[in-house]
Structure formats: C-alpha cells, structure tokens
Amino acid sequence: MSDPFVTLAVLAAAAALVALTLVALRLRRARQDFQQEVAAWKLRLDLDLQQARKERNQLLDALAEAFLLVDSESRIIFANKSASAMFPDRTILNRTVSEVFLDRRLASSVLDCLETGNPVTARVVLPQQSSPLGRLEQRGVNAWVVDAARISETPDDDPEIRVVIRDVTSEHKAEQIRKDFVANASHELRTPLAIINGYLENLLDDELVSDPELTRRFLKIMRKHTERIARIVEDMLVISRLESGEAAALKVKPFRIRSCIQDVLERLESMISSQEATIKVEMPDEELSLNGDRFYWTQVLFNLVENALKQNPRKGLKVTIGCTRNDGGTTLWVSDDGIGIPSNDLPHIFRRFYRVEKHHSQEEIKGTGLGLSIVKRAIEAHGGSIRVTSIPGEDTRFTIEIPKDAEKLIGLETSPENHEQASA
C-alpha cells in the first residue's frame, strides 16, 4: 500500500506541470498574437508610408518646375517628372550634382547651399550646347533660375536640400527684346534728329536763309527726316498695341479683301506710278471676305507692297497680290520679281529694326525697320502665320495662312453688333 503523502506529491507535481504547460501555451499564443499585431501594424505603417510617398510624388510630379532632393554628399535622391524630362539623355538618381549638371554654373548654387546651409537663388544664362536639355535644346541661348534651400527637418550632420529649377528662357528673351527695342528705337530716333539739328545749325549759324535755293534744299531734307521720325513713332505705337494685349480687343467684322487691297493701292499710287511698277491682283472670287480687323489687315498688305517697292526701286517691277480660300482657311500672298532676299537674311527679316539693305546715302531715307515686324504680329493676333521664300530675280513671296478655326475664334470674341455684312 502506497504512501498517501507520495501520492499527493505526485498529483501536485502533475497539476503544477499542467499549469506550467497551460501558462506556456498561453504565453506562446500571446507572443504569436503580439507578433501578428506588430506585423499588421508594420504592414499598415508601410502602406501608409507608401501612400504618403505616392501622394508626395504625385504632388511634386504635378509641378511644372524641376524638383530635386539632394543629400549631404550632393547625390540626387529624388527627382520629379519635370526634372527627369529636363535631363532626357542621362540617369540622374544616385548621381552627384556635378555629374548631372554638366555646366558648373548650374551646379554651383546647389553646392554653395550644401556648403553654407544658406538658401541660394541664382539666374544662369547658358549657350545652347550647355543647356541641361542637351540635344533637345533648339532655342539657342537659354536661361534658368536655380533655387536651393536646406530642408529644416534634416539633422545638421546629414542635411538634405531641395532644389527647384525653373526655365525662364522666354522671359529672358522677352527682356532682351525689350532692351534691344529701346536701344534700337533710341538710335533710330537719334539719327534723324541729329541730321535735322545739323541742318538747323547750318541755316542759323551760317545765315544761309538769304540763299532760297539752298534753304529750300535743306528744308526738304529736314522734312523727310521729320516724316521718318513720325513714321517710326507711329509704327512703334502699332507694335505696342499689338503686344500690350490690345490685340485681344480687335475690332473684328467681315470685310471684302478686294476693297482692302484697293485702299492699299490708292495709298501707294504715287510710288507705283513713279517706279512704273505693275500691280496684279489674283482673286478667283472678287467678293471674298475675311473676318478680322480691317485696320490691321490694311497695315499688313500696305507694308508688304510698300516693302516690295522700296526694296526694288528699279523701273518695271511686277507685284502680285493674291487670295484664295479652301476648306482649311484663307491664303493671301504678295510676291514680286525683284532682286530678292539673301538666304542669310530670311530667318531675321521679321525682327524689329532689321534691314536687309544697310547701305544708304545721306539723302536716301531708310525704312523704319518695323514694317515686317508689324506684319508678323498683326497676323499672329488674328491666329494666322506668315512665311517667306525668295528666288532672286524671279519670285520673292510672302504667304499668309489664316486657318478657318482662327477666323471662327476671333469672331466669337467680338460683340454681336460687330457681326455685320461685309463692308463695301
């Protein structure tokens, strides 16, 4: 017969073992539940972080400017779509700024910001071969603003900076055009004023008034240069209106193109007669009308015909003015059989104050150099385009295209009262 104390001890030990086993199982299950909960939280945090990064990337990719993140070793660790498009021929992630920005002038602002920790903003003007766009750059001189600043949340020993690069080539060129315009206008006005002042001094100081013939000759020259000044001012005002936004308020209504051409020929009648020039009008439909501002279209045709006559002062010049319409829109042209335009000058003739012929005698009054510039801007204000071709001695032709959609568009921008019948 066994000892009851031993039996109780065995039972107690068994109960303790069972209890320990249960505790161990519970602990194991609790640890598994905890691990699963931690994994779930970790997965949720990873998903939230991925979503945050996705939203951040979508926001930064929506920027028109290039946006970069650069670490303390000047490596690019993030680039939005605009930045990637700016460097189409290169891999930019995980490369240093100096490797990506081939021109030191672009990289220096970023490196200065990294070195000093201070925000840096710089405007950089580059030649075409140094543009970050590489082979895609077709604009010649290009300009960029580089804005670099440290991200304040990053530690001092491992800073990161954000870099924004903005393409300001259009603004740079517009600024250069304004500067050139002021400089050229000042020169163009100063020259005739100096001539007039010189003749006045001669008349006053030398007491030449007693010589009627010489006085009359001086006064004629002065009058020509005065008329030149008036023409320059008038042309500059027209360009100013076209470029200041007034072109958006064109007085648009239908008008007969043939009537507009007739007005131009009447204004130039004396010049045409003196040069014994022949003007031919080619219009299959004499009643053809155009929806636009007649004032500016008269300026366009007047400047083109006058330009042909001035550039070809020889007798017997033949000038053709033509107009046709098809399903695509309206085409106008002015051509002549004169000396033509050298191929080197063709890309530049619509620039303000640009002249093909630069050698003139003192008494020969030059054009203002603004006529073709006015032509181009007036046509563009109507949604059209102009091109020029030239075969010297055979055919120099200015061709104007006005798409049908452009005529409809400018017609919608006018008030109902402007939609009248074509003027006679």
pLDDT at 284: 85
Residue from 107, 181, 86 nearest 377 by CA:
181
Residue from 302, 303, 300, 311 nearest 364 by CA:
311
Q: Where are the alpha helices (DSSP H) in 268-386?
A: 269-274, 294-311, 371-381
Q: Where are the alpha helices (DSSP H) in 312-388?
A: 371-381
Q: In this structure, which topology does domain 171-244 adopt according to CATH?
A: Helix Hairpins (1.10.287)
Cα separations in angstroms, 45 against 59, 81, 351? 21, 26, 61
Per-residue pLDDT tens over the stretch 20-66: 888 888 888 888 888 888 888 888 887 777 777 777 677 777 777 88
- Please, what is the average pLDDT of the chain? 79
Q: What's the order of all strands across the beta sheet hosting 161-167?
A: 76-79, 66-70, 161-167, 142-150, 120-126
Residue from 311, 324, 402 nearest 355 by CA:
311
Question: What is the CATH number that goes with domain 66-167?
Answer: 3.30.450.20
| Band of residue 398 on the pLDDT scale cut at 50, 70, 90 | very high
Q: For the chain, where do the domains classified as CATH 3.30.565.10 start and end?
A: 249-424
Q: Give percent above pLDDT 90 in the chain.
A: 8
Task: Kindly state the tokens that stand for 410.
Answer: 């400018």
The CATH number of domain 249-424 is 3.40.250.10: no
pLDDT at 419: 38
Nearby residues of 144 by Cβ (< 8 Å), 6 or more positions away: 106, 123, 124, 126, 132, 165, 166, 167, 168, 169
Backbone angles phi, psi at 170, to 5 degrees: -60, -45
Other beta carbons less than 10 A from residue 340's beta carbon: 20
Nearby residues of 372 by Cβ (< 8 Å), 6 or more positions away: 303, 307, 349, 350, 354
The most confident of 103-107, 364-368, 369-373, by mean pLDDT: 103-107
pLDDT at 217: 83
Q: For the chain, where do the domains classified as CATH 3.30.450.20 start and end?
A: 66-167
Per-residue pLDDT tens over the stretch 313-322: 888 899 999 9
pLDDT at 359: 41
